[in-house]
Structure 1
Amino acid sequence: MKIKYTVDQDNIKLKDYLKLQGVSRNLLKRVRLEDIAYVNGNLVKNYYEVNKGDIIEIEYNEKLNEDFKTNDIPLDILYEDDYLLVANKQANIAIQPSKRHQEDNLISSVKKYYLEKGIDSNIHIVTRLDFSTSGIVLIAKNGYVHNLLNDSKFDKLYLCKVHNSFEELEGEYTDPIRRVEEINIKRWVFSDGKSAHTIYKVLENGDVSTVEARLLTGRTHQIRVHFAYHNHPLLGDKLYGDSDGELMLHCYKLGFRHPITNEKVEIECYPDWYK
């Protein structure tokens, strides 16, 4: 795999330009010591002077993890380029392998896709969802791109169906959340919990309401806890409510700056129950 840049300034050394792009020290060292840097198709050293319009290509080789298994769960791809893959995760599918989910997980689906397409690179999950939650997941195709995304701001919007009607059609919850000591998997609102901030907008109001939620913090089960605490448990939430069926919580919109092109990327994907 090659990382590509189009130079946007004149008279600057390759190593200095790469630093401005956020290239890690480890990769800069490799550019200095190894023959992996090209400008306009020609092999160059790190002190080579580049100019506006030059095309920089850095070879970045990474092997697909052999320990990951594959599965036949369809991979719903929403966006793909040389650096990123965005998938729509089904509900009740784990993101990564574990003892309980060695094959029925998103990474195993992505691995099968990589093998079919000849993509010899590791799988780096950038944005995560809980097991029961469906929706958009961002994946980096190599560690370098993943590192660039570490400090990125992501605008994530969720759709959910909840019990009971709302008096205020727009609002926010700022109740602190922490783990319930007696139940390892469960979280709840406690005064000594970590800060949590959820903004909501009611789209359909009634005995069952449809709500758009935006997370300004990323606490485990944050949406589920906040709405349950305010007497609006999500439909299908067996942990914080009492309803059966699939959890009605879906990450439907993701916005971010592309780590290579700096262009704004916006992905939308609506759940079947909302259509």
Structure 2
Amino acid sequence: MNFKIDKSFHGLTVEDFFNFYHVGKKYLSLLNKEGVFINDKRVKLDYLINKGDILSFNIKENKAKDIYKGEIKILYEDEDILIVYKDPFMLVHPDGEKRDTLSSRVNYYYPHAKHIHRIDYETSGMVLYGKHFLATCFLNHLMETHKIYKQYILLCHNPFNKLKGEINFKIARDRHENKQRVSKAGKDAKSIYEVIQNGKISRVSVQIIGGRRHQIRVHMAAINHPIVGDKLYGFGDGDRLMLHFSKISFIHPRTLKLFTFHSEPNF
């Protein structure tokens, strides 16, 4: 794995470089053991790096245990990240019972790739993967600090009076059913919506801050706009949940510039 050092890391140490990517002690220990190289010369973690240097390393990452040979649809790929399309009615990762999941399929071809986020079983759209530990550590930190922009497109019931708005209801687990609910004792959740087409069936874009389980579904149902096809929180009409993860934006781990990708729904 090679990285060309840009001006933002000039004069910093090798360890500072890895700390910027939020690499944990486990990986730092492996790097120290197996070697980090600057311009093909092995260096220690306290070595000062310069703009234009080529930093390289090669550590043995654990391969995924759950793999399944199946088709995957790659929407975007470079040497650091992978964006894969998920059909509705597929889990992102194994749940202890179902072996055929998106991640087990991805890991058949990319044994070190790790998903950065999840989308619901019934939801279609993109799933982002880090292809190696450095990208995964960096993207996980962006995810944890709410620095990844996530936008969904959905169809929901009933016309809107307000064409733009924020939904800030807290969300908690329903103790009586296998679902979520709005609760003052729940965890913070914010959904920002904008109506694209208003009507008996409305087309809406929603940006989520954070990402609680079933957040958009719970929030839309709470304002009397349940998503079409939602059997848990709506009327259960239609063959599928009309919810699609359509846009993602984040700082790319290699270029350190804003990266945006779109995936249009088929509804």
Question: What TM-score comes out, normalization by structure 2 length?
Answer: 0.89
Name the aligned partner's letter for residue 67 of structure 2: K
1:48-84 Cα distance to aligned partner (Å, 9 max, x none): 443221111121321322x313132x31212212221
For the pair 1:130 / 2:128, whether they are aligned, the reply is: no
Aligned to 1:61: 60
Aligned to 2:85: 88
Rounded Cα–Cα distance in structure 2 between residues aligned with 1:31 and 1:123: 19
Q: CA deviation at 1:109?
A: 1.7
Q: Taking every aligned residue pair, what percent have the same amino acid on both sides? A: 34
In 2, are the aligned partners of 1:24 and 1:144 still within 8 Å (CA)? no
For the pair 1:162 / 2:159, whether they are aligned, the reply is: no
Q: CA deviation at 1:29?
A: 3.1
1:211-246 Cα distance to aligned partner (Å, 9 max, x none): 000112311111111111111111110111121311
Rounded Cα–Cα distance in structure 2 between residues aligned with 1:11 and 1:219: 40
Alignment of 1:65-84 (within 5 A): 65=64, 67-72=65-70, 74-84=71-81
Name the aligned partner's letter for residue 49 of structure 2: V
Rounded Cα–Cα distance in structure 1 between residues aligned with 2:183 and 2:48: 57
For the pair 1:101 / 2:101, whether they are aligned, the reply is: no
Rounded Cα–Cα distance in structure 1 between residues aligned with 2:20 and 2:119: 32
The counterpart of 1:141, out of the listed 128, 131, 137, is: 131
1:114-136 Cα distance to aligned partner (Å, 9 max, x none): 3xxxxxx4231101101111111
In 1, are the aligned partners of 2:21 and 2:137 still within 8 Å (CA)? no
* CA 1:32–1:135: 2 relative to 1, 3 Å: same
In 2, are the aligned partners of 1:159 and 1:213 still within 8 Å (CA)? yes
Q: CA deviation at 1:15?
A: 3.7
* CA 1:20–1:109: 2 relative to 1, 3 Å: closer
Secondary structure of the structure 1 residue equivalent to 2:159: coil
Name the aligned partner's letter for residue 91 of structure 2: A
Q: CA deviation at 1:28?
A: 3.1
What are structure 1's unaligned runs of at least 5 residues?
A: 115-120
- Off by >6 Å, runs of 4+ in structure 1: none
RMSD: 2.0
Alignment of 1:168-247 (within 5 A): 168-183=162-177, 185-242=178-235, 243-247=237-241
Alignment size in residue pairs: 261
Name the aligned partner's letter for residue 31 of structure 2: V
* CA 1:202–1:102: 2 relative to 1, 3 Å: same
In 2, are the aligned partners of 1:78 and 1:267 still within 8 Å (CA)? no
Rounded Cα–Cα distance in structure 1 between residues aligned with 2:95 and 2:18: 37
1:240-260 Cα distance to aligned partner (Å, 9 max, x none): 112131100001000001123
Rounded Cα–Cα distance in structure 2 between residues aligned with 1:102 and 1:21: 31
In 2, are the aligned partners of 1:7 and 1:55 still within 8 Å (CA)? no
What are structure 2's unaligned runs of at least 5 residues?
A: none
Rounded Cα–Cα distance in structure 2 between residues aligned with 1:113 and 1:76: 12
Rounded Cα–Cα distance in structure 2 between residues aligned with 1:164 and 1:141: 42
Aligned to 1:38: 37
